[in-house]
Amino acid sequence: MSAIEQLVNAIGDPMIRELASRGQVRTFPKNAVIINEGDRGDTLFVILSGRVKVYVSDDDGREMILDMHGAGDYVGEMSLDGRPRSASVMTLDPTTCSVLARDELREAIGRNPDIAMAIIEKLIERARIATDNVKNLALMDVYGRVARLLLSLAREENGKLVVPDRMTQQDIADRVGASRDMISRIFKDLTVGGYVTVENRQITINRKPPARW
């Protein structure tokens, strides 16, 4: 079994695994933009290894990160209606994808209609996340958004809550729509208060941050 076949077979979701098996495998270096906001495209990227970020930006280069995805997930499905891309996608690590054109996806759905339902369910999930993010941007202050983000990302490891990805303060600022200086001040308060520990960009949540500061 080849290394690519092993990556495809490692995908837990059988529908995504079937899609991955039909695409053309491409490898991208770190920090490669594989989808540009506003471009027209008809390809779906199933991630076999690595990580990507989905983001929007303005003319001044300011970014807002919408989400991050890793192996076993996919990006680019919003372009399958033929309209321009709604966001950009950049690799965070060297990344290998299985790339499917619209016709290949249609053929896959024709052979297995359950794939269409799986894509619809994923779209609904992402729409719910987007709605929640808009609500938080509108109704929560920056501290509240930071606390919510950390708690949503944290995973239990050896009895501790740890944010798996080693995020910079700029990464966090881009996720919550704030300046890096503001994030720096918030983390200083959280660290002094004993709520979090940061070592080599690894964030550990020692105790649940208060809902409001």
With residue 156 as reference, give the H or E element that holds it: strand 155-157
The per-residue pLDDT for range 126-153, each reduced to its tens digit, is 989 888 888 877 778 999 999 999 999 9
Rg (CA), the chain: 19
Query: What does the pLDDT read at residue 173?
Result: 93
Instruction: Please report the pLDDT score of residue 43 as a whole number.
Output: 93
- Distance separating alpha carbons of residues 76 and 42, to the nearest angstrom: 8
Please give the pLDDT value at position 198.
93
pLDDT digits (tens, 9 = 90+) for 44-86: 999 999 999 999 988 877 888 899 999 999 999 887 777 889 8
Question: From CA 176, how far away is CA 128, in angstroms rounded?
Answer: 17
φ, ψ for residue 24, nearest 5 deg: -95, 125
- pLDDT the model gives residue 167: 87
pTM of the model: 0.77
What pLDDT score does 184 carry?
A: 95
Residue 21: pLDDT over 90: yes
Question: Architecture of 141-205 per CATH?
Answer: Orthogonal Bundle (1.10)
Q: How confident is the model at residue 99 (pLDDT cuts 50, 70, 90)?
A: very high
Residue ranges covered by each domain of the chain: 3-137, 141-205
Q: What is the pLDDT of residue 3?
A: 85
What residue type is 29 in one-letter code?
P
Q: 71-98: string of b/e by CB count within 10 Å (b at 16+)?
A: bbbbbbebbbeeeebebbbbbbeebbbb
* pLDDT for the residue 172: 94
Helix, strand, coil: what percent of the chain each, to 5?
40, 25, 30
Domain 3-137 -> CATH class: mainly beta
pLDDT of residue 134: 83
Domains 3-137 and 141-205 in one fold: no
Encode pLDDT of 150-207 as tens digits: 999 999 988 889 998 888 999 999 999 899 999 999 999 999 999 999 998 899 999 9
